[in-house]
C-alpha cells in the first residue's frame, strides 16, 4: 500500500524518489528502479527524473507547436467568418520569444483602417491577471503581503459583517472568496457612479459565508488593488506603469481610459445587435481600472506573456519576484466544482484561472468581455513555455476563446478536436445575453388594469445603495431618473401598478419591470426596480 500521507510534492529541481518502497499487488519494487518489477510490470526506462507533479502523459513534439503557429492565420480567418467579429490581434510566445504577432480585420466597421500588432484594444477582465502581476511586484519587495487585511491600507473600507471587514485580505478579494455577491457594484457603475461611491456602498450588500464560495467581483478585486496602491502612496495607474509597463517596454499599455481614448491606432468597440456588430457606444471602465480598465496591444501583451512564462524575469532581469508571482498562480478558490466524478474542477488563483487540462498539463487562463464591444483571452502552458493572447473589438461570442482553444488543440494533440466557436458562443449567450426578467419574451396584457393616477406615483424615492430615484409625470407618461448623471428611463405602463423600462449600460440585456406599491393605509409609496433587485436592494421608498 502507498501511505499517501507520507508523499509530498517534490520541489522544482530534478529529483528521483528514493528510499521509498511501493507495494504493488503484494510485491515490492524500489521507486527508483528502472527495470521491470518481479511481476513483469513495465516500469519507466531509463529512470524517471524531474518533479512528478509536472509530468504530462502526452508528449508535445516541436513540430506540433510549429504546425499550430502555421495554422493560426486559417484559424483566425475561420473564426472571424463564423462570428463576424470586426478585428482581431494575436500574440504567441514560445521559449521567451514572440513567434507570432499579427492583426486581422478592421479597427472599425465602415473604415479601411486595419488592425495590426500595435493596435490598442480594451482588455476588459484580462486586466485582472495583468493587475495581479503589478500586485505581485509589490508583494515581492516585501512591502505588502497577499494575506494583509485590506483595511491596513484602506482603513475606511468595510463590508457587511464586522468580522469580514477586519479580516478580508488582498488575496481574498483577488480570488473572489470574500462573500460579496456576484459582480457586486457593477450596476452602480452602469448608473454612472464613480469608484469611491461604489467601494463605499459594498458595505450594504448581503454576504455569503466568508471564504466559502467563489463569487466573481470586479469591485472587490478593485478594492484590493487600490489598497496596494495606497500602500505605495500612488494612484493605481501610476503604480501599474512604474511596476510593469515601463520595465517591460509596454509603451502602448495603460490603466487609464483616457489613454485608450487618445490612441490613434485603436480598435473601436462593437456591440452585438440583431446578430451583427455595430460601433455604438464606448465603455469607460475607469472605476474598475484594476479589474477591467487596461488597454494594450498584441505586441505589449507578448512582453507580459514572456514575464509570466519566465517566472517574473524579463530580458534576464527580475521584474517580479518568482515566489510572489507563483503564489498568484496557485489555486485559491474552486471556481467551477466538478459536477460528476469524472469531471475536472476549475480553480481560480489571484486574478487568474488555474486548471489541469485533458493532457494533464497545468494551464493558466483568463477571458475578458464587455457587452459594449470587447472580448479577449489568454491561455498559457507553463510546462511548454508557451502562451497565446487573443484580442478582439466585438462583444463576446466566443471568438478569442475559440482561436486559443483551436491553437492549443493542435499544440497538444496535432488536430482541432471540435468546432470551438459555436461551442463557446453557447456559453457566452447563456452568460451574457439571457434576460431573467419576468417580462422577458412576454407581451403586455391585451386589457391591462388601469394605472393609479400618475400624480400618486410621481415623486422622489430614496435608496441607500442606488441613491434617489425620481419619477416625473410628463403629460400622460412617467419617466424614471437614476444615478449621478440623472439618466432618464421612460416607463411604459404594463398592467395595474406594473410598468416596464429598458435598462442601459454594460449589464443591460433588455426589458425589466418597475413595480409601484401604493399602500391604502397612507404610508409611503415605494417602487421596486427588478433589474436592480438581484441582491434585494432594488426597492426605493418615497
Encode pLDDT of 386-419 as tens digits: 999 999 999 999 999 999 999 999 999 999 999 9
The more confident residue out of 30 and 190 is: 190
426/506 Cα distance (integer angstroms): 20
Residues 270-290 pLDDT 10s: 999 998 999 999 999 999 999
pLDDT score of 40: 67
In which band, very low, low, confident or very high, does the pLDDT at 42 lie, cut at 50, 70 and 90? low
Q: What architecture is the 454-541 domain classified under in CATH?
A: Beta Barrel (2.40)
Domain with CATH 3.40.710.10 in the chain: 62-119+249-317+331-432
In which band, very low, low, confident or very high, does the pLDDT at 53 lie, cut at 50, 70 and 90? confident
In which band, very low, low, confident or very high, does the pLDDT at 35 lie, cut at 50, 70 and 90? very low
Residue 2 predicted with pLDDT over 50: no
- The grid coordinates listed for 136 are 505581485
Pinpoint the alpha helices (H) of 39-193: 62-70, 72-83, 127-140, 162-167, 170-174, 186-190
Residues 369-379 pLDDT 10s: 999 999 999 99
Is this prediction's pTM over 0.85?
yes
**Direct distance between the N- and C-terminal alpha carbons of the chain, in angstroms, rounded to an integer:** 71
Identify the CATH class of 62-119+249-317+331-432: alpha beta
pLDDT score of 8: 28
pLDDT score of 232: 98
pLDDT score of 521: 80
Domain with CATH 2.40.128.600 in the chain: 454-541
- List, in order, residues 6 or more apart from 518 with CB less than 8 Å away: 452, 456, 457, 497, 525
Assess contact for 333 and 176: CB atoms under 8 A.
Answer: yes
In the chain, % of residues over pLDDT 90: 87
Residue 133 predicted with pLDDT over 50: yes
Residue 486 predicted with pLDDT over 60: yes
Nearest one of 354, 302, 406 to 83, comparing CA atoms? 406
Amino acid at each position: 500500500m502507498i501511505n499517501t500521507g507520507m508523499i509530498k510534492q517534490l520541489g522544482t529541481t530534478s529529483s528521483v524518489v528514493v528510499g521509498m518502497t511501493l507495494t504493488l499487488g503484494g510485491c515490492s519494487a524500489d521507486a527508483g528502479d528502472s527495470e521491470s518489477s518481479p511481476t513483469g510490470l513495465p516500469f519507466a526506462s531509463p529512470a524517471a527524473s524531474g518533479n512528478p507533479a509536472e509530468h504530462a502523459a502526452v508528449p508535445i513534439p516541436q513540430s506540433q507547436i510549429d504546425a499550430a503557429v502555421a495554422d493560426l492565420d486559417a484559424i483566425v480567418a475561420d473564426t472571424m467568418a463564423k462570428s463576424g467579429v470586426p478585428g482581431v490581434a494575436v500574440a504567441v510566445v514560445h521559449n521567451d520569444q514572440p513567434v507570432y504577432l499579427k492583426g486581422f480585420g478592421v479597427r472599425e466597421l465602415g473604415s479601411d483602417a486595419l488592425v495590426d500588432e500595435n493596435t490598442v484594444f480594451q482588455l476588459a477582465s484580462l486586466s485582472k491577471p495583468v493587475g495581479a502581476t503589478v500586485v505581485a511586484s509589490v508583494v515581492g519587495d516585501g512591502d505588502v503581503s497577499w494575506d494583509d487585511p485590506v483595511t491596513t491600507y484602506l482603513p475606511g473600507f468595510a463590508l457587511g459583517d464586522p468580522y469580514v471587514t477586519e479580516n478580508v485580505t488582498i488575496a481574498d478579494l483577488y480570488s473572489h472568496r470574500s462573500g460579496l455577491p456576484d459582480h457586486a457594484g457593477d450596476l452602480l457603475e452602469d448608473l454612472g457612479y464613480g469608484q469611491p461611491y461604489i467601494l463605499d456602498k459594498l458595505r450594504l450588500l448581503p454576504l455569503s459565508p466568508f471564504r466559502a464560495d467563489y463569487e466573481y467581483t470586479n469591485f472587490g478585486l478593485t478594492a484590493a488593488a487600490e489598497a496596494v496602491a495606497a500602500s505605495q502612496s500612488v494612484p493605481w495607474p501610476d503604480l501599474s506603469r512604474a511596476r510593469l509597463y515601463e520595465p517591460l517596454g509596454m509603451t502602448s499599455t495603460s490603466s487609464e481610459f483616457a489613454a485608450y481614448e487618445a490612441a490613434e491606432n485603436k480598435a473601436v468597440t462593437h456591440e452585438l445587435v440583431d446578430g451583427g456588430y455595430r460601433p455604438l457606444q464606448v465603455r469607460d471602465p475607469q472605476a474598475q481600472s484594476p479589474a477591467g480598465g487596461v488597454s494594450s496591444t498584441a505586441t505589449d501583451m507578448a512582453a507580459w506573456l514572456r514575464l509570466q512564462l519566465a517566472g517574473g524575469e524579463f530580458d534576464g532581469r527580475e521584474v517580479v519576484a518568482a515566489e510572489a508571482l507563483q503564489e498568484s498562480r496557485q489555486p485559491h478558490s474552486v471556481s467551477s466544482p466538478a459536477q460528476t466524478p469524472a469531471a475536472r474542477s476549475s480553480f481560480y488563483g489571484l486574478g487568474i484561472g488555474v486548471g489541469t487540462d485533458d493532457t494533464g498539463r497545468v494551464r493558466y487562463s483568463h477571458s475578458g468581455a464587455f457587452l459594449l464591444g470587447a472580448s479577449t483571452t489568454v491561455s498559457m502552458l507553463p510546462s511548454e513555455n508557451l502562451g497565446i493572447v487573443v484580442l478582439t473589438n466585438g462583444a463576446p461570442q466566443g471568438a478569442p476563446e475559440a482561436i486559443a482553444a483551436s491553437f492549443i488543440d493542435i499544440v497538444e494533440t496535432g488536430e482541432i478536436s471540435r468546432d470551438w466557436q459555436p461551442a463557446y458562443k453557447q456559453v457566452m449567450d447563456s452568460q451574457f445575453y439571457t434576460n431573467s426578467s419576468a417580462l422577458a419574451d412576454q407581451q403586455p396584457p391585451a386589457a391591462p388594469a388601469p394605472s393609479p393616477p400618475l400624480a400618486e406615483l410621481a415623486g422622489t424615492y430614496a435608496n441607500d445603495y442606488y441613491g434617489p430615484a425620481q419619477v416625473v409625470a410628463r403629460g400622460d407618461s412617467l419617466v424614471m431618473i437614476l444615478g449621478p448623471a440623472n439618466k432618464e428611463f421612460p416607463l411604459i405602463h404594463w398592467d395595474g401598478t406594473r410598468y416596464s423600462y429598458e435598462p442601459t449600460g454594460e449589464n443591460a440585456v433588455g426589458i425589466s419591470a418597475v413595480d409601484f406599491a401604493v399602500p391604502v393605509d397612507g404610508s409611503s409609496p415605494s417602487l421596486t426596480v427588478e433589474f436592480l433587485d438581484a441582491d434585494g436592494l432594488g426597492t426605493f421608498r418615497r
